[in-house]
Structure 1
């Protein structure tokens, strides 16, 4: 307070002494004292300055110009001189003081994401406006972003309101494409879109948006908006400067434009329903939830607007998109909105949530299970589902296959071709979503009537391509689909029944499981996920001894962010562990069908000096502990993020609840929960990273990396071993491969190699020397021929490495050659 009063008094003395040039020096000293932050009580100093007569302020302005050019002035002093010049020159007759310098500073500001409102940069803007010059669009964008953080400040928002052009911020490809639309109504529409700042549109907002869309033509508007939304998420047209500890602002949405994106989503929901609308909104939701370093999801508010818009569209395509997103979205608030939207549809139709998800899957024009033909002139387009992909092929008038789209189709049937290609993409996305939904049905433990099941699963044009590759039980008899019919293990056709359930190996003997594996292989059935080969986790003697918890997956070191994503995808709630003084509950999965909650206890691993954290303070790695089960309504446990004892939080007189004995957990539930946890460890463990042979930071994980990377096989690796035992004889390199214990041995011309069946890590002769080969993204196991199930990436990695090492004289990669 004393410092503020000092400068207020100083202004008075300098005016009384007629030393206004000296006042300019004092003001720059004040800028040093307040570190360029003209907020709070410093407002009083600026107010006293603005109260000076115009002639006095003009002399102060001249003094600031002199100080700007003085030899002693550094960058901070010159910047503050420009800002103070704008303040004292406000309302004075236009005068060309430091115009070029001010424009240079504004150019610098245009490359910033935003600025602290206390810097008073709005005075630079006001000076330009007073001179009658337009403000550069990139500067307008920075000012608008800064306003979003201008708390308890009126000057910056007041200036920003004068910046009405352009209606959207430049810098994002979609926005710049939208700004190319000419005409007053288009500009009015974009301006109205940017007012979408609430969670949901008001009736007044909808009314104005509808009027603007009607003036332009609903079809024209829909086509334009969908074209713009297809560009959302692309790299910025120019990058913004980013501080070392700032989030990746160049990968995030412009927050001002994000409001317009919400408005565009709402606008689409007001237009007549169209399949392209549902596609565009679904893509917007997923794009908006993509993670950005240091920030998290790009913009959940835009994703939520997309969900709300889909919920307002009364069409089969919109319902299908909601159901698809419900299987993919893991961000908590958006997932809740999706659940609410589907529940509302279910209630309106008098159905259960599960039934609405089943009925929401469209046929996509398929006239048979996984098959459709479309006549385009003299050409026939054949759309077929092959495994997890939809494939579009072409036949000419004589029925002969042609390799590419005929020119006549591209010329005369452009719209139909565009729709067919869009349908292929829709089917691919929905196949992935439905495969995940079916994989989750084991714990849902559902039973269908035979007729309903055939309609919604076996004979459904899309879902049938998955259901016909799975095993089911019809009235207690296990059946699979082959040669056009449901068949028993002895290939006896089954044509009718009463109740149908999804088959799970935990309920069957090892001999029967092996028999069904042979059946699938005999009929060439590749399952969409592990079912007949699904790992089964039965209670062990060690777990009977511990009683209420399993240590089967304790003492592992996992990559936290990868674990977090996997947990969310498998339906587990989890909170990222931060290196702060805070507590968090363990990752947990609710199992409402069984009245249970599963927990996997973890803690942050940051090293002794907490160096293993991100710039935002998030632990890079976790250590794992027990798996426990509680009644679903039991109070939550929690522990410090950095480690320590878990304890139950009791509120409002609650009594503690003991964990349930593992012997009381149904075998199916125990097996599926432990399978999830095995997946977390198998994918996220640092032990399967081939580049960690040095043990990571300080080498402190060396022992763990070695024990995991070459140690005993977990259940999924044992399953992989059994499969490889059947696959190896069919490989082109079969004479060079043998399975021994935990390893696949591969004989090359240079060395013999041992590939660990759990981690994919490699040892080579002599002396078991480590060989580091980093697999390429998405390795293919196509050379292995028939595989009984999809989705085992580590199997593909092992087979890919084996093929390479068996022919090691043809390796050309210098990184690998240097180790041979």
Structure 2
């Protein structure tokens, strides 16, 4: 019988059986830490706990964390013999304090697993580890973290029992959730999970290591992942880059972009399309249905959503990986490339929309074959080389022909390739010789800048008034023996509007770009923006930057394009609400000049795409593309949308109109674009569709500005 607990747990009369804990667990899924603490004799009150609940030994875990509360509650309602065995297992897990378990620890762990049953142990601890991985942000106790580490290491004692690589990956990501400036909440837990994952000899485990390496930014764990993957590559006799290729899972797809799965009493066909994963449902007779069957909607909705989410994430990761291949200088044998790229059920949906050079012939896949510019099939031998096509290596006429062909065939590229911006050396850069100031004097939001650098493979240390110095933002290019450095300075002084309470800068200002031999000593900058310096005892020859004219054109172009993307994605000039931010009026002049000024190289490409797309839009008769703007005629006013920033001016007096990204229309289905990934292009067109029908705008924050 459950005795009701009052608001004062220490005054409640608790039954001797302890079965009330099971009721809490059944109804709520967990037991409040205060209740558990009282039941275990840990509540700090003015009098000792009642004899009925006083523990014989100190509790194994400390209450207050979801996973620990769940474990305590489950163990507490077991029969006494099992309770003692499980507590002994948890104490043994806690006994592992070294980085790796000794033979004696492993031997005793094996004995405990045999006595409890490995299947039961891993099934129960899977639930606890899932609870740990999905817990909301919050501080964890080192004592409990040690227990998690021990539970993870148990899995190396009985690898044949089967451990979910995805669960281990979730533990890594959950442990690396940051708690403010204090760093990850469980770095040692993440390290243990990575090590256990690296001991699993399976394709899913290898795929999970690769997935984590593409997502994790915490340096210590990332180094551990890289070492594990390099060891896997060495064991297989292949390169580290090839590991990323062979580890891509199919995610249930059986042919290119298509997979069929039975869920409940229905069957779903998943189709990978350029911008989404579409589900086609069929009932048990095979007939297509217009909606999700009721049985699936009621009992299996989460299962389907999780699978679609996995495919979406995998597609995004593979698109990012393939785009970075431009700078990796990769070449494949045709038979190898066909298996890993063209005919891979998942990667093939991306690779078949890109231009490749097979042998010496550029080609793309359509109508069931690889075809060149002339439309004729390309016949390849297994030993032919294959490389990714880049526009900087081809003349303008050929690039334009490829754009026309892709448009005719309805090919939507997964990222900019035929329309990719190129950045040849300018006369100004020839004059400066050793550095480029092409993207200097921009003001960027530091948080967005940091995220963009990580996504593009750069190493960046956020600037802070707390630090005396920091390294520049760096992209290492081992395939070329080079290192690119991009210099930025923190903006603001202590305690002003540009600095957070913890001392981090809200904004950074861009400076120059330089290239060095990869073995050159790293440079250092004064964090508050007082200039550029080098380490003292350096080799003068290596310390000198390379002349820009000596940098391979493809490398120079891709590095400068990355920096252009950083500016395009993080500049304060792209924030439509900036004029409402009174704290930062000192940057208003820059906001005006960027938000409505000359177009960058990225924006110039956007303008050419808009010129091609607009005539095919339903609002074509209301749109005109000019030098810097997409002009839209509404019924109430006319509007000029800047093609670089997306900011809007209204007639008759160039009054500013604030339209936030979430207020623009979704252009999916309204406009067919030649490539994915240009967020600003979608935003510009989304604002055009919205403003062309300005009399239908119901959002009061926009409608109020139109009066």
TM class by smaller structure: 0.7 to 0.9
Query: Structure 2 vs 1, CA of residues 565 and 277 (structure 1 numbering), >3 Å: closer, same or farther?
Result: same
How far 1:502 moved relative to its partner?
0.7
In structure 2, the gaps of 5 or more residues are 1-32, 36-41
SS of structure 1 residue aligned to 2:362 = strand
In the alignment, which residue of structure 2 is the partner of 1:667?
553
- 1:564 correspondence with 2:450: yes
CA contact (8 A) 2:494 2:503 kept: no
Selected match of 1:760 from 635, 646, 649? 646
Distance 1:131 1:750 in 2: 76
Contact 1:448 1:500 survives alignment (8 Å)? yes
Distance in 2 (alpha carbons) for counterparts of 1:193 and 1:133: 28
3-state secondary structure, aligned to 1:222: helix
Q: SS in structure 1 opposite 2:705?
A: coil
Q: CA deviation at 1:288?
A: 2.9
Bigger radius of gyration, 1 or 2? 1
Contact 1:604 1:621 in 2 (8 A): yes
Task: Within 5 Å, give how 1:426-575 maps onto structure 2.
Answer: 426-497=310-381, 498-575=384-461
Tell me how far 1:283 sits from its aligned partner. 2.1
TM-score, structure 1 length as denominator?
0.75
Q: CA distance change for structure 1 residues 393 and 543 in 2, over 3 Å: closer, same or farther?
A: same
The verdict on how the C-alpha distance between 1:410 and 1:801 changes in structure 2, with shifts beyond 3 A counting, is closer
Contact 2:67 2:129 in 1 (8 A): yes
- RMSD value, Cα: 3.2
What CA deviation, in whole Å up to 9, does each residue of 1:373-414 have, x standing for no partner? 346797543233223654443323443212455467799xx8
Indicate if the aligned counterparts of 2:271 and 2:277 stay in contact, CA closer than 8 A: yes
Q: 1:12-52 CA deviation, whole Å, 9 max, x = no partner? A: xxxxxxxxxxxxxxxxxxxxxxxxxxxxxxxxxxxxxxxxx
Of the structure 1 ranges 448-457 and 299-308, higher mean CA displacement relative to structure 2 is found in 299-308
Matched with 2:180 is: 293
The answer on 1:164 being equivalent to 2:48 is no
Q: Does 1:225 align with 2:109?
A: no
Cα distance change, pair 204–774 in 1 and its aligned pair in 2 (3 A): farther
Give the secondary-structure state (helix, strand or coil) at the position aligned to 2:590. helix
Q: Distance in 2 between matches of 1:602 and 1:419?
A: 45
Q: Counterpart in 2 of 1:305? A: 192
Tell which deviates more after alignment, 126-135 or 217-226. 126-135
Q: State the SS of the aligned residue for 1:494.
A: coil
Task: Indicate the residue corresponding to 2:250 in structure 1.
Answer: 363
Judging changes above 3 Å, is the alpha-carbon distance between structure 1 residues 192 and 383 closer, same or farther for their aligned structure 2 residues? farther
Please state how far the C-alpha of 1:290 moved relative to its aligned partner.
3.6
Q: In the aligned structure 2, how far is the partner of 1:656 from the partner of 1:264?
A: 49
Would the alpha carbon gap of residues 654 and 378 (structure 1) be closer, same or farther in structure 2, given more than 3 Å must change?
Answer: same
- Find the residue that maps to 1:548 and give its secondary structure: coil
1:655-687: per-residue Cα shift (whole Å, max 9, x none)?
662111111111100011011111111111111
**Structure 2 partner of 1:174:** 67
- Give the structure 1 partner of residue 168 of structure 2: 281
State whether residues 603 and 641 of structure 1, in contact with CA within 8 Å, keep that contact through their aligned partners in structure 2: yes
Q: Secondary structure at the match of 1:493?
A: coil
> Any idea what the Cα deviations from partners look like across 1:515-540, whole Å, max 9, x if unmatched?
11122221122222111111111111
Partner Cα separation in structure 1 for residue 411 and residue 96 of structure 2: 51
* Contact 1:327/1:436, CA 8 A, preserved across alignment: no
Question: Which residue in the other structure is 1:593 paired with?
Answer: 479
Deviation at 1:440, TM superposition (A): 1.0
- For residues 778-798 of structure 1, the C-alpha deviation after alignment (integer angstroms, 9 at most, x for no partner) is 973204332221111112221
C-alpha deviation, 1:608, in angstroms: 7.8
CA contact (8 A) 1:389 1:427 kept: no
Partner Cα separation in structure 2 for residue 408 and residue 305 of structure 1: 40
Query: For the residues of structure 1 that align with 2:143 and 2:274, how far apart are their CA atoms?
Result: 43
Give the secondary structure class of the aligned counterpart of 2:131: coil
Q: Residues of 1 paired with 2:44 and 2:674: CA distance?
A: 67
Residues 487-511 of structure 1: CA deviation (Å, up to 9, x unaligned): 1112111231411001111111122
Are 1:626 and 2:526 an aligned pair?
no
Which residue matches 2:222?
Answer: 335
Deviation for aligned residue 1:478:
0.7
Distance 1:778 1:586 in 2: 36
Deviations 1:451-499 (A, max 9, x none): 1111111111221111111110011211101121111112111231411
- Matches of 1:469 and 1:592 in 2, distance apart? 28
Shift, 1:601, TM fit: 0.8
Contact 1:599 1:628 in 2 (8 A): yes
The one-character-per-residue Cα deviations of 1:285-337 (angstroms, maximum 9, x if unpaired) are 22333444333444333322222121011111000111122222222111111
Asked whether the 8 Å contact 1:759–1:794 carries over to 2, the reply is yes
Written as runs of structure 1 = structure 2, the 5 A alignment for 1:57-68 is none
Matched, 1:679 2:572: no
